[in-house]
Amino acid sequence: MNIAVPKETHPGEERVALAPETVKKLAKAGFSVAVEAGAGKPAFFSDESYKEAGATVEGDYAKLLGSADMVLKVAPPVTGGGRNEVAAMKEGAIFIASLQPLRNLEPVKALQERKITAFSTDAIPRTSRAQAMDTLSSMANIAGYKGALLGAVEMNKYYPMLMTAAGMVAPAKVFVIGAAVAGLQAIATAKRLGAQVTATDVRPEVKEQIESVGAKYVGIELKADASAGGGYAKELSEEDKARQREMLVAQCAQVDVVITTALIGGIFAPKLINKEMVMSMKAGSVIVDLAADGGGNCELSKPGETVVTENGVTILAPLNLAATMPTHASLLFGRNLLNFITTFAKDGAFVLDLNDDIQAGALITHEGQVKHARTKDALEKSGAMAAR
């Protein structure tokens, strides 16, 4: 089976779907891998390193994709601006990437029309069996780490407690909202840097996890269960939202850095910090909104920008943080893809088994149909709105 790895051309995307080490393992498993020239350069992987790993390097993206049985990317396929990756693929090919289908309906529609079998790695079920394939968790881990560092850089204080000849400096106080993968990594990183860390999550079962990485848990007793399963949270009732808001007001007012990571269903960001909360925070404090890709947890966040409020609070809303650490992000992403592919491989080919829970969960389009229920609903609604 021929696998193609094209360049990532979305602005700010520095990752590549496969690193040379993963190419070598796929070649050993019987796959033939071709990489577009320069695809690994932003992540510091040379064309020569891919050749040494057993891949061929192709300069013409259309030729590369047209001869591929399987196409691997990090981001959704490009369908305009002089580069149409979906049109270049042969009908019936397999496409695997972090599609984020609910946010990228146009590429999904193009894949459907081209009769591509598309899997989205961010839709892989969060089960023990699929853990090694979960790119969403791998990339969230990087985002949590980098988010804690950004808070330390922007803050006007030290993170750790220091004893100096001039006297003691008290540790910074960091508050993390959301304790899934990104949140737990942000807690652990801030703690390693010496900060005093508190954290909250609407899922009470994560209290032990928060404490295991060194933070103090703060939270409210919920009237209704807020766990959506698979490590995700669901939206709170209005009553619970009001009680949560009171807790957040109190916590945000007394800390130096707030790191938000909350996503509903792993996709959409609830607005947890409103303008009044920001105005109650101390001058010089920092908010790092790691949910910016989903719209942001802070009402004043501007995704992709840094804002300084009138009362001196700095709000960072970085997008696609994993791409800012492209070497390790590409290594981890590629390993996730390797695990997904080789789990279903036989004699150097990927075997479709749509009755398998992992393949079925990650499947977005197949044989000209949208198979992912939520994406299908979103496409139908967008079509109905366009018709109006």
Active site residue 359: no
Contact status, residue 265 vs residue 228, Cβ threshold 8 Å: yes
| Residue 61: closest CA among 86, 41, 43 | 86
Active site residue 131: yes
Catalytic residue among 134, 201, 256, 289: 134
| Residue 98: closest CA among 147, 152, 61, 135 | 135
Catalytic residue among 60, 129, 131, 382: 131
For residues 203 and 347, give the distance between their C-alpha atoms in angstroms, rounded to a whole number.
44
Catalytic residue among 83, 103, 126, 192: 126
Active site residue 126: yes
Catalytic residue among 47, 69, 158, 232: 232
Compute the half-sphere exposure of residue 376: CA atoms within 13 Å on the CB side of its CA: 10
Active site residue 137: yes
Catalytic residue among 98, 112, 120, 137: 137
State the catalytic residues: 126, 131, 134, 137, 232
